[in-house]
Amino acid sequence: MPLPSTTRWIRRLRPLAWGGAAALLLAPWVAMRFTSEVAWTGSDFAVFGAMLLAGCVAFELVASAARAPAYLAASVIALGAAFLLVWANLAVGIVGEPSHPANLAFMAIPLAGIIGALLSRRRPRGMAATLVAMAVLQVVAAGIAVPASAQEPRGFLLGYTAAYVAVWLLCAALFRKAADRAPR
């Protein structure tokens, strides 16, 4: 009996997710051997390792819930985007330095995704609503950040926001597609 296409994709993506996480964690360590531009501390590696582990565990949870290719695609894209949002915020800050108070508004977005996934029990319709809420929160966070970013180019912040809103809404549409194809 052939495997459903979603199961085949999960089997292909699983080693890429875990292997990619290991490669990403090793990359700064290797770079530190060749340049002084990269100077990570033990705590940098610990935080990044914890983020990668959380991302891989989240992928495993997604893999257990994915019944349609659209659900899997939406989940992987949303997880990747949330990971990059948190990483950028912790590494350099979206507004000024990472310690800038306006950056907290951006951290609320992945938190809303986690809460929405828990409340909806990862069902496609609930996930679609969660991703729409995340898009709205992205706009709210930018609304908080724009006045606070006097030194930052506002065009970057607006472009960053537009890109993330587009990603969240794409994921919402994919979850909606998965919900429409799911048996009632």
Question: What pLDDT shows up at residue 29?
Answer: 93
* Four-residue CA torsion sign, 81, 85, 88, 94: positive
Q: Cα 60–62–65 angle (5° rounding)?
A: 115
Note the pTM of the prediction, 2 decimals. 0.85
The rounded percent of the chain whose pLDDT value lies above 90 is: 61
12 token code pair: 């292909």
Q: Where are the domains of the chain?
A: 5-181
- The DSSP-derived string for 57-106 is HHHHHHHHH--SHHHHHHHHHHHHHHHHHHHHHHHT-SSSSTT-TTHHHH
The pLDDT mean for the chain works out to 89
Q: How far is CA 123 from CA 62, 75, 131, 167, 175, in A?
A: 11, 11, 12, 19, 9
Report residue 146's pLDDT band, with 50, 70 and 90 as the boundaries: confident
Question: What pLDDT shows up at residue 154?
Answer: 74
Per-residue pLDDT of 75-87, as tens digits, reads 999 999 999 999 9
Report residue 1's pLDDT band, with 50, 70 and 90 as the boundaries: very low
99 token code pair: 């310690």
Per-residue pLDDT of 30-72, as tens digits, reads 999 999 988 899 999 999 999 999 999 998 888 887 888 899 9
